[in-house]
Structure 1
Amino acid sequence: MILSFSLCALNAAAQTLSVSAGMVKLEEMVGGLETPWAVGILPDESFLVTERDGRLLYVRNSQVEGVSGVPKVAALGQGGLLDVTISRNFNQSREVFLTFAKPQGDGAGTAVAVARLSETGKNLQNFRVVFEASPGGTGGRHFGSRVVEANDGTLFVTLGERGQAEKAQDRSNPMGSVIRINRDGTVPADNPFVGQLNIEPEIWSYGHRNPQGADLDARGRLWISEHGARGGDEINQPRAGANYGWPVISYGTHYSGDKIGEGTTKEGLEQPVHYWDPSIAPSGLLVYSGKLWPQWAGDIFVGSLKFDYIARLKGDPMHEAEQIRSPETERVRDIVEAPDGSIWFISVGQGAVYRMAPAK
């Protein structure tokens, strides 16, 4: 595969930054990217990067290769090639999970695929779609699209409501929900709505607007970040069968300034663990292990697309304890932890992947 653009060399000069845990260095791992969306770090710290228009890149030892075998995507508005997640048993299976906007006639639906990455990293093998939100709609908004492998091997996938707010309360379709599926796409028998008429059995939780961040904590619980409208961005901890309220309740307003739904609370609907007003446009979410910075163990890191920083959240009630901000944090789209405990993030504004580690 020949790339039609130039990529910068790895390991450019690192920048130092003072944060609450001390001095850190921000090292550019790859630059020259076009609308990067997700990064997945392999056990040997080579890595994969998705670009929304449909390119998957493999980066190893300062070399960048295009990966073949990537599906055709609907690069429509916010849609395209989206998340990439490395399987827990990658050393044995070499499997990766991808999410993307799958073309569906005049529209597109969020799809989940599993494939084997070749030993060279240059192609995907045995590619198969294991879930497809159909029909997904004709608009180009709110695909959600993070995928997380749970401790039991099932997959949590976040799905936006595709700009059709009422769909988030309609369980006959999966839009505006977190779904839970087995690795082969089948439905786990203990999903909360299995066997109930007119409800999609993949649904784990619903009433979500556009969740674009997801991770597990040390106890294996799922956490997500999701975009509100004008205000009302949220952090939630989705529970089986729970309704998170969109668009019946919200801490935001419509972009016109009009009230959303019935207010901020209603019996039977879940409250967010944290919300932002004004909106920060949250994308990517990491629950940090504490491996390199023990004082940050269990803290949640979320990228801001709007205000160009990484938010660190902690406590009960949860609050934004720190804003990590530098030229490198321009429109942070994804944030993940590497095997060595360093924090990697994507800057869409800089077209780059960065690694944050303690400065020596």
Structure 2
Amino acid sequence: MRLLPIAAVSLTLLACTGAEPGNSQQAAAPGLPFTVTPVADFDSPWSMTFLPDGRMLVTEKAGVLLLVTADGKSSTPVSGIPVVDSAGQGALKDVVLDPHFVHNKRVWFSYSEAATNGKGVVLARGIFTDGKSPSLAGVETVFRATPYVTGNGHYSGRIAFAPDGKHVFFTNGERQKFDPAQDPKATLGKVLRLTIDGKPAGDPGLTAKGFHPAIWSYGHRNLLGLAFDKAGNLWEQEMGPKGGDEVNLILPGRNYGYPIVSDGDHYDGRDIPDHKTRPEFEAPKVSWNPVISPGGLIVYSGKAFPQWAGDLLIGGLSSQALVRVDVNGTSAKKGDQWPMGARIREVEEGPDGAIWLLEDGGQGSQGRLLKLTPNR
């Protein structure tokens, strides 16, 4: 972790001038509805979550979990993380507190691993032990994607707990293999549902048809965002191929069409039929072409930006943006797209309603932790 002085700066100006954070000449950029404060800097961070006392857990791509103070001024590695295969898109990925964390201190996380039969994404959990040497004790594997395959792409690995606190949803990417997204026996290219004890609890209709018993929905590509809204609707975003990034409302038993349909095309130029040509597949609520390369996703519920309550906030990687999707019940449409001057991997809501971002730390990004607050 590389520490930064805390100062409100403009990312747009920072990108243009190359100025360092803390430079007193920086000012809020015109046109942005928030002030951006760099808080810390990490090595290719991937995800974050807040502890009840305001401290943060931050994952880094190489396999490091950090306990970060609320002001971002110091961090401590948390031991207990298994060996992570971080080649390509592999990483220590999502980190989420158990719905009953206050009582059981359980932390859930995902990571990519290499095995003799290939590579895949793992859902795991451990008991958080605080102190001078914080750790995750008793780490256990909850679920492994199936099958493991060759390659280093499209692991996905996002985690979301159902409002009832009894189920956990977990995303498996199709690993750039296309067909597994439609394979009923494979968990690749799927949204999965498990009980809080890790037992498969997929859509009963699909299970009755012979699908893997954890599958909730299928026909997905690279699912990098997953979140419930206050009404209990499950929203998901995924990277499309060459074009066709998507926001989906996830419904049990539905087929979202990939790779049979997409609003994008194959990277080699071959056409993929659009969603509108095959109405039997569930169409996205919002799609982008050109792409935004969506990273993390939240449903915003804080008081700092009440005008966005219930909307989706998405980190943009290739678009180097924070993207807002306007949600109205189960409908959605494009909202704002604010330039951030760096690849945004993660979005999180702080205890006070501030919006926190993690830069990707790759391909020219720095890897900073940023706090967004309303302009005064």
The TM-score normalised by the length of structure 1 is 0.91
Who is 2:191 aligned against? Answer: 178
Distance 1:165 1:227, change over 3 A: same
Contact 2:263 2:273 (8 Å CA) reproduced: no
Instruction: Pick the aligned partner of 2:8 from 4, 11, 14.
Output: 14
* Aligned counterparts, 1:70-89, within 5 A: 70-89=81-100
**Structure 1: distance between partners of 2:277 and 2:251:** 18
SS at match of 2:102: helix
Who is 1:142 aligned against? Answer: 154
Aligned AA (1:14): A
SS at match of 1:295: helix
* Aligned counterparts, 1:14-53, within 5 A: 14-15=8-9, 16-17=28-29, 22=33, 24-31=34-41, 33-53=42-62
Contact 1:283 1:334 (8 Å CA) reproduced: yes
Gaps of 5+ in 2: 10-27
Distance 1:280 1:354, change over 3 A: same
**Structure 1: distance between partners of 2:62 and 2:152:** 13
**Structure 2: distance between partners of 1:36 and 1:314:** 27
Distance apart, 1:105 and its partner CA: 1.4
Who is 1:3 aligned against? Answer: none
Structure 1 consecutive aligned stretches of length 4 or more whose deviation exceeds 4 Å: 17-20, 261-264
**Structure 1: distance between partners of 2:39 and 2:148:** 35
Contact 1:7 1:64 (8 Å CA) reproduced: no
For residues 69-96 of structure 1, what are the alpha-carbon distances to aligned partners after superposition, in whole Å with 9 as ceiling and x for unaligned?
Answer: 0011111210121111122222211111
Aligned AA (2:3): C
**Structure 2: distance between partners of 1:271 and 1:87:** 31
Aligned AA (1:12): I
Taking only the aligned residue pairs, the percentage that are identical comes to 36
Contact 1:35 1:51 (8 Å CA) reproduced: yes
Contact 1:95 1:116 (8 Å CA) reproduced: yes
Distance apart, 1:103 and its partner CA: 2.0
Who is 2:232 aligned against? Answer: 220
SS at match of 1:43: coil
SS at match of 2:315: strand
Distance apart, 1:109 and its partner CA: 1.1
* Aligned counterparts, 1:121-270, within 5 A: 122-153=134-165, 154-188=167-201, 191-193=203-205, 195-196=207-208, 198-261=210-273, 264-270=276-282
Contact 2:113 2:119 (8 Å CA) reproduced: yes
**Structure 2: distance between partners of 1:341 and 1:192:** 37
Distance apart, 1:263 and its partner CA: 6.0
Who is 2:107 aligned against? Answer: 96
Aligned AA (2:334): E
Who is 1:279 aligned against? Answer: 291
**Structure 2: distance between partners of 1:57 and 1:249:** 40
**Structure 1: distance between partners of 2:188 and 2:286:** 23
**Paired residues, number:** 348
Distance 1:313 1:263, change over 3 A: closer
> Which one is further off, 65-74 or 80-89?
80-89
Distance apart, 1:228 and its partner CA: 0.4
Distance apart, 1:203 and its partner CA: 0.4
SS at match of 2:250: coil
Contact 2:239 2:246 (8 Å CA) reproduced: yes
Aligned AA (2:372): M
Alignment RMSD: 1.9
Who is 2:14 aligned against? Answer: none
> Which one is further off, 244-253 or 212-221?
212-221
Who is 2:368 aligned against? Answer: 352
Distance 1:195 1:277, change over 3 A: closer
Distance apart, 1:195 and its partner CA: 4.7
**Structure 2: distance between partners of 1:205 and 1:180:** 9
> Which one is further off, 164-173 or 99-108?
99-108
Aligned AA (1:92): H
* Aligned counterparts, 1:108-127, within 5 A: 108-120=119-131, 122-127=134-139
